[in-house]
Chain A
């Protein structure tokens, strides 16, 4: 075992800085007994080895010297150039060997997702998300390695560079870890929030779900089915079934994913059974308990896994919008005892409209 890779089930708290937010969360979930697709992190040590062992750092620094951040065209040119520099280098031999070895341990030509896992922990995750890449249905060690490198390179998109410039972050100081994870063969997938995003109601779990991989839900390309589950009673109290016209499914031959039209019968049917809705809600609630704050969970039902064990968590991160609002100034105290009762009688709750 090298310092360059770390299986999810061995990621400890001390490792969080070198595996990035996503992998740290996958590690925590794995160790808490939550089913997540298996895999490993390519640590920031690997990224640093890439920068240092190939001369890439010098090349980037040189390019940055010629970059005028106020000029969109100049920034775009630099971004392109740096990304080309990344792809012009092979990975250092030790890093390459470590990734190949961990990947081989997953199985022969095992389909995986390769996702970036940023370390800029102090950044609001929401605004940083989506600026690094995620590659689905990657098969074969060469392709895995190429996409790990692509993830690293994605740190240097014009947008990401501009963001760092605006936030006074060193361009090379933000490190990147990469998650290599079993590709979920998602029958259905989506997100679950353990707080109602519309109003911050903590007694509710709100679930969006659609067919295939969850990317189309996250990106808003399909209008998902929407379920509201009462968190404590674990009962579905509201459901909106939508027309889910398209799904993202694997194209095994091409080792990629494709968007496919959903046939007429399925598109307007509820995509999860009620029992599955409750299973997702329980998973989200468990993750909220473990993390001690409201969570935003990506999940999927994996067709490769047996019934009842097929629900996996792909990601769990703290909900940021409502959680950061300090609870409204608490009331100046509660009427208790007989005064409470007088208040309740004078203003019975059903009378409030």
Chain B
């Protein structure tokens, strides 16, 4: 390659697809590649984070990347002073987000070490108590969000308020509640990273140690040594399995098999043991049905407790399998004994000094690792589920008040514009005039919808400009799985090859028919024994993991959710192939080798 020709294009040369003109006005100025900064921006390497944000942002949803990535950065840069790494810079271009880690000036790294040791050291030393407190903080936020309601403004201020001399009107709570929701979710995202960066750091230390001891050890072997705990992330799926077993035991399984959710529950409730089952179902819902089929980052995410047909569908599959005599539970004992076997066999190959260091690092990695999985339930699923539910109710209320023609109109506004709308609403309510929104927003939302639909017709570039000689930023490696090698995969090579290379994320090798799934709404198409091929998967796809033989994704590293779920479910997985979901077609016969990271299209 010509040294002057960058490996990936410049953002400044990437035109928006037809129909997406004006897209840049939908996003905040600080997230755009500013024309005046071209020289500087083109010097940096940017990779697309389509692992978390595979679809173009609606303006409101942009908040998710802003809060998440800002909060990731603050812990590296300002809380713990991670010696070599500040945060991750990010831009939105043509609707997708591109990231660029910010390193620390090598001369300053040394000065940060003592501070990192004191600050991060405090967390490692007090992990359980701090984590207990974390759960309280997160739950308090959830409770506060749950309590917030967005009600239409009444015709008149309540009489009691007048009599009590409150001196305020109903718009006050409306504006304050909106602001409070944004503040609460902003706090929640700070909590999200309070432990995560440290979890990755400890894991990276353990990982690096193992690679030094055994240079060829598969990444997945290292991952297996820390997994096998009862993760809250898989609890929703486990609850469905328990409910399926209970339904069979109580003899109400067949009654559950047909009809809508309400119909099925009514039929079951009328049966002899039905009330007991319905009670168990109700109990499982809180909190475990605060679970999205997406990843928590989109206002369109579907949560189980608002779409009970989704968990019921999975439950029905499980009932059929229980009745067929299958074991549907995850093999936890087998996973744990496998973990222990792997751990002790590697340790046997070490010198006593190395074995001692190994025990220390493994011990810490096992203490911190559960957070890496568990947090996902509490933040992305539960907290975000409540947040989106409340935001959708606000959007619906404003739709009913005439601001936009569809219930989801609000999400085409950014979070500051929503504030304006709430003021507009209260303002006209106060003046007795007409609010301006209903004449302004419908056509504007239409225009924006057109832009976003147009953006979605064009896939993002995997990266922009030239990668550095070596990737050193620790979180980029762990979280996004971006290494000098994986970048090579993105450049594709020859398109005719029937082989795809990715990360060997979960061991085992199988052959089978591919099922390409581009949206969680299509998950029900998956047939028993197929191989799931997707741009990216979410943990909440777990209920289909009992049906499939293996998983292949375009995006994701060793710690991506697809990789974690596959290892927990004992299925082979290849992640980060770059192009599997477009190269492979549903019905293709493919071979997936989770040991070597190779996927072959056989026919």
Q: Which residues of A are in contact with B by a Cβ distance under 8 Å? A: 201-204, 230-233, 235-238, 274, 327, 330, 333-334, 336-353
Contacts and interface: CB of A to CB of B under 8 A. Distances in A.
B346 to A, nearest CB: 6
B360 A235 contact: no
Contacts of A342: 83, 113, 116-117
A338 B346 contact: no
Interface in B169-226: 201-202, 204-205, 207-209, 211-212, 214-218, 220-221, 224
A273 to B, nearest CB: 12
A237 B596 contact: yes
A321 B336 CA distance: 36
12 contacts: A201-B214, A232-B346, A233-B218, A235-B218, A336-B357, A340-B357, A342-B113, A344-B209, A345-B82, A347-B472, A348-B204, A353-B484
Interface of A is mostly: mixed
B342 to A, nearest CB: 5
The 9 closest A-B pairs by CB, nearest first: A334-B357, A344-B205, A350-B477, A350-B483, A351-B472, A235-B595, A349-B208, A344-B208, A348-B474
Contacts of B107: none
Given A330-B354, A336-B361, A346 B84 contact: yes
A348 B342 contact: no
Contact of A345 (B83, B345, B346): B83
Chain B interface size, under 10 / 10 to 19 / 20 to 34 / 35 or more: 35 or more
B204 A345 contact: yes
A345 B470 contact: no
Given A203-B216, A338-B124, A342-B116, A347 B109 contact: no
A340 B484 CA distance: 24
Contacts of B212: 349
Nearest to B481: A350
A330 B213 CA distance: 11
Given A274-B509, A336-B360, A236 B113 contact: no
Interface string B457-481: 0000000000000111110011000
A344 B215 CA distance: 15
Contacts of A338: 116-117, 120-121, 124
B204 A334 contact: no
Given A345-B85, A346-B83, A353-B470, 5 more contacts: A230-B221, A330-B351, A344-B201, A346-B109, A352-B470
A236 to B, nearest CB: 6
B286 interface: no
Nearest to B484: A353
Nearest to B200: A345
Contacts of B87: none
Contacts of B208: 343-344, 347-349
Contacts of A333: 353
B222 to A, nearest CB: 10
B508 interface: yes
B507 interface: yes
Contact of A236 (B82, B215, B595): B595
Given A232-B342, A235-B508, A348 B477 contact: yes
